[in-house]
Amino acid sequence: MKAQLKAVKKVLALRKALKAAPPAKKAAIKAKIAKAKAALKKATQKVVKVTAKVDKKKIAVIKAKIAAATDPKRKKVLVA
């Protein structure tokens, strides 16, 4: 998440610099923007992957609690 914010801020700063830059430097700034966008995409993919992993762990813990519950009332509450 932090890496995503950092990458977005960099892209925004570069876009701002692009508007104020002389024509000679615009190509270099556009290349930097492309690189920053790629970093943002990579960071986003990592966040999605980690989030899925965390969700799977939470689901596994809940399923284990349901399986361990012996009292039918408690099991019904956990399933709901």
Q: What would the pLDDT profile of 30-39 be if each residue is shown by its tens digit?
A: 999 999 999 9
- CA dist 39 and 58 (Å) reads 29
Q: Is 44 exposed, middle or buried (0-12, 13-18, 19+ CB in 10 A)?
A: middle
Percent of residues, the chain, with pLDDT higher than 90: 71
C-alpha distances in Å from residue 38, one per residue of 14, 25, 66, 73: 14, 20, 42, 51
pLDDT, residue 24, reads 92
